[in-house]
Amino acid sequence: MNRLDVFLHAERVGLLERLPGAELRFTYEPSWAARRGTPLSLSLPLRAEPFDDRECRPFFAGLLPEGDFLKAVARAFQVSAENSFSVLAEIGGECAGAVSLVAPGEEPAIMAGHPPRWLTEPELEELLVELPTRPLLTGPNEEDEGVRLSLAGTQDKLPVLARDTQLGVTWGSPPSTHIIKKPIANVAEMVANEAYCMALANEAELDVARALPLRAGDQEVLVVSRYDRTYRASERGPEIHRIHQEDFCQALGRLPAQKYEAEGGPGIAECAELVQRWSGAPAADQLKFLDALLFNLLIGNADAHAKNYSLLLDAPGSPRLAPLYDLLSTRVYGRRFGRKMAMKYGGEYRPEYIRGRHLDRMAGELGVAPRRVRVRAVGMAERVADSTEAARERLPGLSRDGAVIDGIVGIVEEMARSLYEAAEEPA
């Protein structure tokens, strides 16, 4: 198979082809382009002419998981992890946001409803244990081949439907509402780390996805609400609706391997220009982006690269900056994840060396007055430092008292002092 129909929601919007040499080509459906539907990506504006491999590969490769999870999926289908088309042909039936890729003539899974399979705690534990080596679940009728779902990122993930206190596996319709993330092996208290950082962002009044730790037997995981889902009223009651979205690498036409600025990925200036150019509320979203940068600095998140920021493309007022996600203190693990930030802050990668002049340069990259950045930095440092205990109280009892959270609190206090001093330096 060398052709895949590309859907947004339940509408066919284009065709993805594999050409000789495994190159990709994407062409919009003429009727979709003519009536100016939502673009598949900001890097793929509506037009009649096809997009060549250089133009379209970043978006489609960005739909796929990364690292060992991608390799596990590829092994399950006996295809190469480097062959994006072959992997998408197998698991592209439901991607992040509202994108689906299916064989020509087929319909996406979202158009065929199946009753969810509600999970007991032992069943959930079994799925989580098997997830690294069995990344695709059995289909709704047991004999089916399994879930055709692709989620970006490096961690093992399981999409689930949450209803009241139940978690279940769903096959397209209704769509999943939450993502269960397994921690990286041999990283201490990683679930508590991310749950705490997400709660801290919420306490500091940032727009952030909700996340809570969950234990199923011996498996401790993080359950994250999907920001690319919303509820709409219908005659049958509230219905789950998918929201089209893409990360900054996709929107800027960068491959996943280029997500770090040091590897050719977007820096603050390029990300800010993206927001300024496309956001439905650019001034508000620029400040939200600035707040996110300051928060990641305060918690010691050196992994806040361009794939960890996204845009909602068909929500009200779109495009808009998506809620924050994947917030984690990497610095608390010492040098295991490196100390350099994923993006330069005013020309400086090392958080401990960021001074007033770097904040002023960053203001220029953001298109914001330097004084406003300094005032915002002081306010964010104070809010985050004042929220550390309230964020801890949000977590279940067993997750509150680990050494990692104590370490994050220490990093926040240190970085808050440093950021305050930098903001008070003479301009």
Do the domain assignments include residue 354? yes
Closest listed residue to residue 153, CA positions, set 260, 63, 57:
63
Per the annotation, the verdict on 156 as an active-site residue is no
Do the domain assignments include residue 378? yes
Residues 93 and 146 in one domain: no
Of 225, 257, 285, the last residue of a domain is: 225
In this structure, what is the dihedral angle of CA atoms 193, 196, 202, 206, given to the nearest 10 degrees?
A: -30
pLDDT of 413 strictly over 90: yes
- Residue 122 is predicted with a pLDDT of 94
Do the domain assignments include residue 112? no
pLDDT band, residue 237 (cuts 50/70/90): low
Do the domain assignments include residue 238? no
pLDDT band, residue 402 (cuts 50/70/90): confident
pLDDT digits (tens, 9 = 90+) for 137-170: 544 444 444 444 556 656 778 889 998 888 998 8
pLDDT of 69 strictly over 90: no
What is the domain range of residue 391? 243-424
Over the chain, what is the mean pLDDT? Answer: 89
Q: Do 217 and 275 meet the contact criterion of CB atoms below 8 Å apart? A: no
| Number of domains present in the structure of the chain | 3
pLDDT of 407 strictly over 90: yes
d(CA 424, CA 385): 17
- Residue 94 is predicted with a pLDDT of 80
CATH of the domain at 360: 1.10.1070.20
Do the domain assignments include residue 237? no
Residues 145 and 30 in one domain: no
pLDDT average, residue stretch 117-124: 92
Tokens of 362: 């960053």
- Residue 143 is predicted with a pLDDT of 43
Residues 89 and 204 in one domain: no
pLDDT average, residue stretch 328-340: 88
Tokens of 208: 């952030």
pLDDT digits (tens, 9 = 90+) for 272-330: 999 999 999 999 999 999 999 999 999 999 999 999 999 999 988 889 999 999 999 99
Residues 80 and 101 in one domain: yes
Residues 272 and 352 in one domain: yes
Of 107, 137, 158, the last residue of a domain is: 107
Residues 398 and 418 in one domain: yes
What does residue 159 show for φ and ψ, rounded to 5 degrees? Answer: -75, 135
Do the domain assignments include residue 339? yes
- Residue 48 is predicted with a pLDDT of 93
- Residue 1 is predicted with a pLDDT of 78
Q: Whole-prediction pTM value?
A: 0.93
pLDDT digits (tens, 9 = 90+) for 16-34: 999 998 899 999 999 998 8
pLDDT average, residue stretch 92-96: 83
Residues 267 and 403 in one domain: yes
Q: Which residue has the higher pLDDT, 111 or 316?
A: 316
Residues 134 and 260 in one domain: no
Closest listed residue to residue 299, CA positions, set 224, 202, 396:
202
Q: Which residue has the higher pLDDT, 202 or 134?
A: 202
Alpha carbon distances (Å) from 407 to 197, 343, 387? 12, 23, 15
- Residue 136 is predicted with a pLDDT of 57
- Residue 350 is predicted with a pLDDT of 95
Least confident of 64-78, 81-95, 375-389, 410-424: 64-78
Do the domain assignments include residue 236? no
Closest listed residue to residue 366, CA positions, set 254, 257, 286:
286
Burial of 215 (0-12, 13-18, 19+ CB in 10 A): middle
pLDDT band, residue 234 (cuts 50/70/90): low
pLDDT of 397 strictly over 90: no
Pick the catalytic residue from 156, 228, 291, 303.
303
- Residue 148 is predicted with a pLDDT of 47
Residues 407 and 355 in one domain: yes
